């Protein structure tokens, strides 16, 4: 794959991971906020703890599902992007040189046949 194509895939992978990290941090901060609200008595202690426990359990489950689905989606996208980018990649310098050598060789053969 061409270098810029690989750089694009690497960038997308980094952006994907950054998004998942940000979602995880939002989850953590929300958890801290709920704990603080309970600590300050904004909610009844027993009910608040139950709500927090339920929320933490559900948010972990949803985060795991999100990460799993996102990782699978990314793997599919990366495979397709890699395939498409590699088909767009121009020939390497070595490939061009080898092709020139083949063309020169064929030209010599044609000239030899024309002389006969």
Residue 113 lies in a domain: no
In the chain, the number of structural domains is 1
Give the range of the structural domain holding residue 29, as residue numbers without chain letter: 3-90
Task: Give the DSSP letter string of 5-57.
Answer: HHHHHHHHHHHHHHHHHHHHHHHHHHHHHHHHHHHTTSS-HHHHHHHHHHHHH
What predicted TM-score, i.e. pTM, was given to this entire model?
0.48
Q: Across the chain, what does the average pLDDT equal?
A: 83
* pLDDT tens sequence across 66-112: 888 888 888 888 888 888 877 776 778 898 899 999 999 988 888 88
Residue 103 lies in a domain: no
Inter-CA distances, 22 with 7, 18, 49, Å: 22, 6, 25
Residue 95 lies in a domain: no
Residue 45 lies in a domain: yes
Residue 106 lies in a domain: no
Residue 104 lies in a domain: no
Is-contact 89 2, C-beta < 8 A?
yes
Residue 35 lies in a domain: yes
Residue 14 lies in a domain: yes
* pLDDT tens sequence across 8-26: 888 888 888 888 888 888 8
């Amino acid at each position: 794959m061409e270098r810029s194509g690989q750089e694009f895939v690497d960038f997308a992978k980094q952006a994907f991971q950054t998004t998942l990290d940000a979602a995880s941090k939002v989850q953590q901060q929300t958890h801290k906020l709920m704990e603080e609200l309970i600590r300050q008595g904004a909610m009844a202690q027993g009910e608040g703890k139950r709500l927090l426990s339920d929320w933490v359990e559900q948010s972990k489950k949803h985060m795991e599902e999100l990460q799993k689905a996102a990782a699978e989606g990314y793997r599919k996208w990366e495979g397709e992007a890699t395939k498409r980018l590699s088909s767009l990649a121009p020939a390497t310098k070595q490939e061009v040189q080898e092709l020139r050598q083949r063309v020169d060789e064929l030209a010599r053969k044609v000239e030899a046949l024309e002389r006969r």
